[in-house]
Amino acid sequence: MPKKTKQKSKYTLSHFKRELPLHLMLLPGLAIILIFSYVPMAGLIIAFQDFIPSKGMFGDQEWVGLKNFEYVFHLPGFGQAMKNTVIIAFWKIILGLVVPVIFALLLNEVRFIKFKKTVQTIVYLPYFLSWVVLGGIFLDILSPSTGIINQIITALGGKEIFFLGDNEYFRETLIVTDVWKNFGYGAIVYLAAILGIDTDLYEAAKIDGANRWRQTWHVTLPGMRMIIVLMMVLSLGNVLNAGFDQVFNFYCIYLGILFSGV
Amino acid sequence: MRKKTKGRIAFQIINYSILALLAALCLFPILNILAMSFSSATAVSAGKVSVFPVEFTASAYSYVMGKKEFWTSLIKSLERVLIGVPLSMVITIMTAYPLSKDNSQLRARSVYAWVFFFTMLFSGGLIPGYLLIQNLHMMDTIWALILPTTISVYNIVLMLNFFRNIPKELEEAALIDGANQFQTCFLIYVPCAKPSIATLTLFSFVTQWNSYFDGLIFSNFPSSYPLASYLYTVVVKRDLSTLSLDDFKLLTMVDDR
C-alpha cells in the first residue's frame, strides 16, 4: 500500500482504481436505501397535491399548496391528538433515558457476577417480544376483571382500573409499558459505555478522597455523557411517532373488544 | 484494601433487592401469560392463575395448531427469516466495511455516511412507502417484507464500530499478501468480528420475526400474512368477521371473555 501523504493531493485515476472495490461494496446497500428510503421521501410531495392514486406516484397531479395541512389542522381531534403525542413522546424519551442509565449504574455496582448476568438476561427478555404479543399479554394482565394487576390493587383495598380503556390512564399505561419493554436493551448500551471508562480515573478519584457517590457523579456519568447524548438525539427522531406500533396494538385491541360487544 | 462500611453494606442490600425486583417485574407477565395458556378457561376467568397453571390443559395450543392459517403464516415467517436475515447481514457487512475506512482511504466516505445517517432521522412514511411497493409490483410477495427492512442503519453503525476496533495491521498485511478488498473484508475482518456479527444477526432476526405491520399493509390476502401479522388479526379481531360460529364456540372454550 502506498504511503499516505498528509497534504491534499488531487483525486487521480490511481486513487479511483484503489477505491473502486470499496465503492462497489457500497453499491447494494446504497441501491436499497435509495429505493426504499429516498424514493418514499421524494414521494412526500403528494402532501402538497390533490393526490389521485390512479395517476401514479409521480404523475401529473394538481398542486394545492398547504390545503391538505389546513384540512388536517382543522380536524376536530387534531389538537388533542397532538397534545397526546407530545406528552407521550416527552415522557417516553425522558424515562427511556433515565431508567436505563440508573439501572446500568446499579447493575455496575453488583460484584456477584452470576446475579448480574441473570438480572441482565431477564431484563433483556421483553425487548425480544413483539408489540403484538405484548398487546395480548397486557390485555390479559391489565384486564379489570381477571387481570393480575387489578387483583393486587383490589386486594390492597383499591378500586380496579381499566388501564387500556380509561382515558385517564391510557397515556401512563403506554409510557410505563414502553419503558418496561426497552430499558433492558438500553441498559446494555450504557453498561458497555461504563466498561469503556478508563479505570485509572477511578484510582485518581479515590486518591483525591472521592467516595462511591462522588466517583459515580464525577467519573462514571461524565464518561457516559457522549453515549447518553447520542441516544437522546436518536430518540428525538421518534417524537412525532410516539411508538406507533405500541399504540396501534393497545388501542385496536381495546376497540376490537368494544365492537365485539363482549 | 477496600473496607466495607455500614453504609456500603446497606447500599448493597438495597441495590440487590431493587435489581431482583426489576427482574421479577420483567419476568412475571411472561410467566403469568404462559401459566394462563396452560390453564382452563374457568380458572383464568376466576383469576386464580398467577405463575403456575391451574387445571392444566393444552387446549389453547391444540386450537392454534389446528388452524390452517397458523401453519401458512408460520411458513411465511420462516421463509422471511431464512432469506431476510442472511441477506441483511451480507449487505450490512458490505456496507459497514467501506464506511469503517478513513477518509484517506475512501474519499467520499463522509458523503456516503451522511446518505445513510439521514435515513435514520427522516423517512418517507406510510403512504409513499405503500405506493412504492405497489408500483414495484411487490404486493403479496416476500420481497415486500424483506427488502425495505434489509438495511438497518443502526446495525451498520454498530458493525462499522466493531470493524474499527480491528487492528489496521491485519488489513495492511492482507493487502501486502495480495488480497483485494473483498477478500480482506470477508476472510480477515468477518472472522475477527464473529461475536458482533452473531449479535447483529440476533437483532436482525428479531426485527424480521416480529414485524407485523408491513405484513398487514403489503398483503392483499390474509394467506400472505407472516406469523406476527396473523397473530395481530387473532389478538385484535378475536371474534369478528374472521371467525366462524364453530370457531367462536371453540374460542369460548379457550377463553370465555
Chain A neighbors of B23, CB-CB under 8 A: 118-119, 122-123
Q: Is the separation of the CB atoms in A105 and A220 below 8 Å?
A: yes
Inform me whether the pLDDT recorded for B127 exceeds 90. no
pLDDT of residue B233: 81
pLDDT of residue B199: 86
B182 with A21: Cβ contact below 8 A: yes
Q: What is the percent of chain A with per-residue pLDDT over 70, rounded to a whole number?
A: 89
Q: What is the mean pLDDT of residues B69-93?
A: 93
Q: What is the mean pLDDT of residues A146-162?
A: 80
Distance from CA of B167 to the nearest CA of A (A): 16
As a whole number of angstroms, the distance between CA B132 and CA A71 comes to 25
Judged by a CB distance cut-off of 8 A, whether residue A166 touches chain B is no
pLDDT of residue B160: 87
Q: What is the mean pLDDT of residues B27-50?
A: 81
Inform me whether the pLDDT recorded for B159 exceeds 60. yes
Please report the DSSP string for B94-163 in residue order.
HHHHHHTS-TTTSTTHHHHHHHHHHHHH----HHHHHHHHHHTT-TTSTHHHHGGGS--HHHHHHHHHHH
- Picking from B193, B170, B190, the residue whose alpha carbon sits closest to that of residue B182 is B190
Chain B neighbors of A4, CB-CB under 8 A: 104
3-class secondary-structure state, position A49: strand
Residue-wise pLDDT for A126-143, tens only, equals: 988 888 888 888 877 887
Enumerate the β-bridge partners of residue A62: A50
Inform me whether the pLDDT recorded for A171 exceeds 90. no
What are residue B141's phi and psi, to 5 degrees? -100, 165
Looking at every residue in chain A, the average pLDDT score rounds to: 82
pLDDT of residue B52: 82
Inform me whether the pLDDT recorded for B250 exceeds 80. no
Judged by a CB distance cut-off of 8 A, whether residue A44 touches chain B is yes
Inform me whether the pLDDT recorded for B118 exceeds 70. yes
Q: Is the separation of the CB atoms in B51 and B69 below 8 Å?
A: no
As a whole number of angstroms, the distance between CA B162 and CA B200 comes to 11
Of B33, B95, B121, the CB nearest to A26: B95
**Higher pLDDT residue, B14 or B126?**
B14
Second CATH level (architecture) for the domain A77-260? Orthogonal Bundle (1.10)
As a whole number of angstroms, the distance between CA A165 and CA A259 comes to 13
Judged by a CB distance cut-off of 8 A, whether residue A102 touches chain B is no
Chain B neighbors of A248, CB-CB under 8 A: 213
Chain B neighbors of A141, CB-CB under 8 A: 29, 32-33
pLDDT of residue B242: 41
Inform me whether the pLDDT recorded for A236 exceeds 50. yes
pLDDT of residue B2: 53
B236 with A249: Cβ contact below 8 A: yes
What are residue A50's phi and psi, to 5 degrees? -85, 85
- Cβ-based neighbours of A227, under 8 Å, separated by 6 or more: A189, A190, A193
Residues of chain A with CATH 1.10.3720.10: 77-260
Split at pLDDT 50, 70, 90, the class of B3 is low
A119 with B131: Cβ contact below 8 A: no
Split at pLDDT 50, 70, 90, the class of B257 is very low
**Higher pLDDT residue, B161 or A11?**
B161
Q: Is the separation of the CB atoms in B79 and B142 below 8 Å?
A: yes
Chain B neighbors of A135, CB-CB under 8 A: 235-236
Nearest CA in chain B to A121: B23
A4 exposure class (CB count in 10 Å sphere: 0-12, 13-18, 19+): exposed
Q: Is the separation of the CB atoms in A139 and A146 below 8 Å?
A: no
As a whole number of angstroms, the distance between CA B148 and CA A36 comes to 6
As a whole number of angstroms, the distance between CA B207 and CA B222 comes to 21
A46 with B27: Cβ contact below 8 A: no
pLDDT of residue A230: 81
Look up residue B166 and give its three cell numbers. 480491528
As a whole number of angstroms, the distance between CA A141 and CA A129 comes to 16
**Which of B8, B12, B18, B22 would you mutate first to test chain A, the one with the most A CBs within 10 A?**
B22
Give the ipTM of the model, two decimals please.
0.78
Domain residue ranges of chain B, discontinuous segments joined by +:
6-57, 65-235
Second CATH level (architecture) for the domain B65-235? Orthogonal Bundle (1.10)
**Which of A33, A164, A249 would you mutate first to test chain B, the one with the most B CBs within 10 A?**
A33
As a whole number of angstroms, the distance between CA A211 and CA B95 comes to 46
Residue type, position B28, single letter: F
Split at pLDDT 50, 70, 90, the class of B223 is confident
- Picking from A183, A182, A162, the residue whose alpha carbon sits closest to that of residue A173 is A162
A22 with B105: Cβ contact below 8 A: yes
Residue-wise pLDDT for A22-50, tens only, equals: 999 999 999 999 999 999 888 888 888 88
Neighbours of A174 (CB within 10 A): 23
Please report the DSSP string for A53-72 in residue order.
GGG-TTS-PEE-TTHHHHHH
Q: What is the mean pLDDT of residues B111-121?
A: 88
Split at pLDDT 50, 70, 90, the class of B90 is very high
Q: Is the separation of the CB atoms in A110 and A190 below 8 Å?
A: no
A42 with B124: Cβ contact below 8 A: yes
Residue type, position B139, single letter: M
A122 with B231: Cβ contact below 8 A: no
Enumerate the β-bridge partners of residue B139: none
As a whole number of angstroms, the distance between CA A107 and CA B157 comes to 26
pLDDT of residue B42: 77
Please report the DSSP string for A127-180 in residue order.
GGS-HHHHHHHHHHHT-TTT-HHHHHHHHTT-----TTT-TTTHHHHHHHHHHH
As a whole number of angstroms, the distance between CA A106 and CA B184 comes to 41
pLDDT of residue B244: 45
Inform me whether the pLDDT recorded for B123 exceeds 90. no
What are residue A49's phi and psi, to 5 degrees? -120, 160
As a whole number of angstroms, the distance between CA B198 and CA B93 comes to 12
As a whole number of angstroms, the distance between CA B181 and CA B178 comes to 10
Look up residue A142 and give its three cell numbers. 391489565
Q: Which of A172-181, A197-206, B52-61 has the lowest mean pLDDT?
A: B52-61
Judged by a CB distance cut-off of 8 A, whether residue A170 touches chain B is no
**Which of A58, A140, A245, A250 would you mutate first to test chain B, the one with the most B CBs within 10 A?**
A140
Split at pLDDT 50, 70, 90, the class of B67 is confident
3-class secondary-structure state, position A50: strand
Look up residue A171 and give its three cell numbers. 397515556
